[in-house]
Structure 1
Amino acid sequence: MKKILPILIIIVALVITAAVVIGVKRTKTVNWEESFNEKSNEPYGLSIFYKELSNLFKDFKIRTVFHQPSSYLSANSEGGYGKHVAEGSYIIIGNSDYLENDSIDELLNFVDAGNTLFISDYYFSQKIHDTLDIDVNYIPNEKEDSISHQSLKYIGIESTIIDKNGGDYYFSRFDSINFNVLGYSKIDYKHANFIQVPFGDGNIYLHLEPKAFTNYNILKEDRYKYVEGLISYLPENNVYFDSYTKIQTGYDGEVEKESNLSWFLEQLSFRWAWYTALIFGILFMIFNAKRRQRIIKIIKPLQNTTIAFVKTVSNLYFDTQDHKNLIDKKITYFLEKIRIDYNLDTSTLNDEFIVKLAAKTGKKKDDVKKLINYINSLRSKDDLFEDNLIKLNKLIEAFYTT
């Protein structure tokens, strides 16, 4: 053992030295290419948005399409040879210039049948411009900070920043009577950059700032709320995510799964650390195989003191008679649950909010209005009593049970 130990120390030292030298020589550069690739973890990739689609559209199928819409949608139509009939929302983020005329025709037929098409790109195929009679123009960003502001008209998102922006694309011509403007971009003044186009029995949503969906912008501050607002216009249905310009896999659109460790092993520093840890682990097992395991002490599990804690807190509020504090906490918890469960902005509890909440929950509008109006009345009072707390609790319980 004494003869082997120095050799082991030398081997480990050489491994660590090689890892440090190679790590120092290699400089990691950030790739700012706007790939809009749903597998890319680079700043302008879409991996985060793509992974969150399953949370945004719970209980619905998310399919990744690696083919031209002309072949995919025709196959998955009534009388086609696909595995299902395509119905839902077709999403294209960036790189939409690959669309050929027959694919555009198939997408328009898809929308005409009552489905939804959502495209976010700087410009669209000429056939889309001609069919919908729209024009897109460009205004350069001459500000030093290269910032533009994005806003959504009906959702209460007034100013979401998009930085590193050389300019804004906007709709310079469209049918202002039949088309609905849903959002704007602003450098010096506002331009329409998000419109809803009714087409047949469905809708087309055209958006001109695809960088909003990228990893860089979703992770910056609260910019993800802007993306949530954009996607909230889509109906709750199956989603077809376009990935034709990326690596193609099977026809059914299922993404080829890769090892979760593969990306980490591509990082040089982590790879050397991983291999060093494996070497140490193997050496440890070799030289400790004959050693006896120590006696494992019996550790009693911690007692569940949740009920006692709740009793203590409830007695504290009962003794202090601080009903207003408890009412404020119940209202805060209720509104937080509404934001999480139904993706609604609770900053303004007005009639528009009541209509949206009733539609999202399927509750009667009068019942929802009664609860929200009572919350607004409690917020406006300074002195609150036990009867107010009891009534609020009954209304909230009725909201979840009926």
Structure 2
Amino acid sequence: MKKVAPVFIIIVALIVTAAVAIGIKRTKTVDWEESFDEKSNKPYGVSILYKELPNLFKNHKVRTVYHQPASYLGANSEDGYGEHVAKGTYIIIGNSDYLEDDSVDELLNFADTGNTLFISDYNFPQKIHDTLNIDTDYIANEKDSISYQSLKHFNLEDIIIDKNEGDMFFASFDSINYNVLGYSKIDYKHVNFIEIPFGKGQIYLHLEPKVFTNYNLLKENRYKYVEGILSHLPETDVYFDSYTKIQSGYDGDVEKESNLSWFLEQLSFRWAWYTAIIFGILFMIFNAKRKQRVIRIIKPLQNTTVAFVKTVSNLYFDTQDHKNLIDKKITYFLEKIRTDFNLDTSVLNEVFTEKLATKTGKKKEDVKKLIDYINWLRSKNEFFEENLIKLNRHIEAFYNK
């Protein structure tokens, strides 16, 4: 084993050195995919917004919709088979172009019956454009990657959005009946947030979904802009769309990863984990030969004397053989007297009584009662249960006093 120790140390040193070298050279890449997925913790996921919705809409239910809106809202209509009637605010962040026409119709009907529809996306399904008579356009950011976002009814400084190659804006809409709520600015202001009265409800359309992502919510004071946007929505139950994220082709890798994945992404934790595994394997390899075989535990034989005596006594008691039980109880008592006090028990007379009282330190009167009762029992031929019980009490009193 002395020769193995240096080899073991050398192997561990090589492994740790290699781990450090690989860790230093490895550059971590950031995934900037705009998934808008509520389970994604990546920069352009919306997990932070999703987790904060219950705090933003307190005392109201927040439901996640994993189905095409047509199916979900149809099932949860007054004539549907769902568990409740869908009422409140339906929120879609990004990827709305994957909505089918029947889902667009169902969402418009949802708003028409007194509810709220909120969509933040770079563009909308053509059916929404046609129904609401709106048109959008794009302005490229030729100077830098920064645009400015502002809200009309909030005293809030312009919010910077970086990593932005350009802005979408509303090129045409019904400026008389539609309310302008916000702007984007690259070279000059463009309308990018409007409120549209629709039937008994409202539709809100917003053209910069990146503001809702994890990256922007954690950047400086950009969260205030999001709070301002959502403050326009009524205090009702919320339906958060997840179906369009599934349809967009985002593979939801965050869902598949375990909680260990976060630790493995951290360089120190990762190599600590790998080193622990390697040490464990090496420990098992070098320690296996030192282990002896499992020694089988042999249980000692149990002393069944007491159980045997109880069984025999129960047998005599059940058969009402009181004479036999009394004889055996007297015999056992006298045997114990002979063993413990070295007295001759062949004659139970006055002399024997005095000797027994002296050796045991008990009152002569108490000892005499027991000996007299034993002598009386020996003179009888017929016994009853009461005789057995009385003898037992005398013997117990002798041992207890």
Aligned to 1:197: 196
Aligned to 1:173: 172
Quickly say closer, same or farther: Cα 1:256–1:165, change in 2 above 3 A: closer
Once residues 232 and 2 of structure 2 are traced to their aligned partners in structure 1, the CA distance between those partners, rounded to angstroms, is: 71
Give the superposition deviation at 1:179.
0.8
Q: For 1:9-56, what per-residue CA distance to the aligned partner results, in whole angstroms no more than 9, with x for missing partners?
A: 445434423322332343211222222122222222212222222221
Give the superposition deviation at 1:108.
0.9
Counterpart residue identity of residue 30, structure 1: V
Q: Secondary structure at the match of 1:137?
A: strand
Give the superposition deviation at 1:84.
2.0
Q: Secondary structure at the match of 2:102?
A: helix
Once residues 8 and 55 of structure 1 are traced to their aligned partners in structure 2, the CA distance between those partners, rounded to angstroms, is: 55
Aligned to 1:376: none
Q: For 1:218-239, what per-residue CA distance to the aligned partner results, in whole angstroms no more than 9, with x for missing partners?
A: 1111111001111111112221
Equivalent residues in 2 for 1:222-233, closer than 5 Å:
222-233=221-232
Aligned to 2:21: 21
Q: For 1:242-296, what per-residue CA distance to the aligned partner results, in whole angstroms no more than 9, with x for missing partners?
A: 1113349xxxxxx979743333335565332234356779999xx9xxxxxxxxx
Counterpart residue identity of residue 68, structure 1: Q
Aligned to 1:264: 263
Quickly say closer, same or farther: Cα 1:246–1:134, change in 2 above 3 A: closer
Aligned to 2:183: 184
Q: CA RMSD in A?
A: 2.9
Q: Show structure 2 runs of 5+ residues with no match.
A: 248-253, 288-401
Aligned to 1:154: 153
Aligned to 2:244: 245
Contact conserved, 2:36 with 2:93, CA < 8 A, in 1?
yes
Q: Secondary structure at the match of 2:60?
A: coil
Q: Secondary structure at the match of 2:27?
A: coil
Contact conserved, 2:91 with 2:239, CA < 8 A, in 1?
yes
Aligned to 1:321: none
Quickly say closer, same or farther: Cα 1:224–1:280, change in 2 above 3 A: farther
Counterpart residue identity of residue 166, structure 2: G
Aligned to 2:108: 108
Identical-pair percentage: 78
Equivalent residues in 2 for 1:30-69, closer than 5 Å:
30-69=30-69
Equivalent residues in 2 for 1:326-341, closer than 5 Å:
none
Greater Rg by CA:
2
Give the superposition deviation at 1:115.
1.3
Q: Secondary structure at the match of 1:50?
A: helix
Q: For 1:170-217, what per-residue CA distance to the aligned partner results, in whole angstroms no more than 9, with x for missing partners?
A: 111111111110001111211111000111111110000111111221
Once residues 218 and 255 of structure 2 are traced to their aligned partners in structure 1, the CA distance between those partners, rounded to angstroms, is: 25
Q: Secondary structure at the match of 2:22?
A: helix
Equivalent residues in 2 for 1:315-394, closer than 5 Å:
none
Contact conserved, 1:32 with 1:44, CA < 8 A, in 2?
yes
Instruction: Give the stretch that moved more between structures: 117-126 or 33-42.
Output: 33-42
Contact conserved, 1:147 with 1:187, CA < 8 A, in 2?
yes
Instruction: Give the stretch that moved more between structures: 37-46 or 99-108.
Output: 37-46
How many residues are paired up? Answer: 280
Once residues 146 and 20 of structure 1 are traced to their aligned partners in structure 2, the CA distance between those partners, rounded to angstroms, is: 37
Give the superposition deviation at 1:59.
2.6
Once residues 59 and 16 of structure 1 are traced to their aligned partners in structure 2, the CA distance between those partners, rounded to angstroms, is: 53
Counterpart residue identity of residue 82, structure 1: G
Q: Structure 1 length normalisation: TM-score? A: 0.63
Aligned to 1:82: 82
1:129 lines up with 2:129 in the alignment:
yes
Give the superposition deviation at 1:67.
1.4
Once residues 281 and 238 of structure 1 are traced to their aligned partners in structure 2, the CA distance between those partners, rounded to angstroms, is: 52
Contact conserved, 2:35 with 2:245, CA < 8 A, in 1?
no
Contact conserved, 1:66 with 1:246, CA < 8 A, in 2?
no
Quickly say closer, same or farther: Cα 1:109–1:256, change in 2 above 3 A: farther
Q: Show structure 1 runs of 5+ residues with no match.
A: 249-254, 288-402
Quickly say closer, same or farther: Cα 1:2–1:114, change in 2 above 3 A: farther
Q: For 1:270-326, what per-residue CA distance to the aligned partner results, in whole angstroms no more than 9, with x for missing partners?
A: 332234356779999xx9xxxxxxxxxxxxxxxxxxxxxxxxxxxxxxxxxxxxxxx
Once residues 179 and 173 of structure 1 are traced to their aligned partners in structure 2, the CA distance between those partners, rounded to angstroms, is: 11
Aligned to 2:72: 72
Q: Secondary structure at the match of 2:245?
A: coil
Contact conserved, 2:120 with 2:208, CA < 8 A, in 1?
yes
Aligned to 1:344: none
Q: Secondary structure at the match of 1:170?
A: strand
Q: For 1:105-137, what per-residue CA distance to the aligned partner results, in whole angstroms no more than 9, with x for missing partners?
A: 110111112111110111111100111011111
Give the superposition deviation at 1:138.
1.2
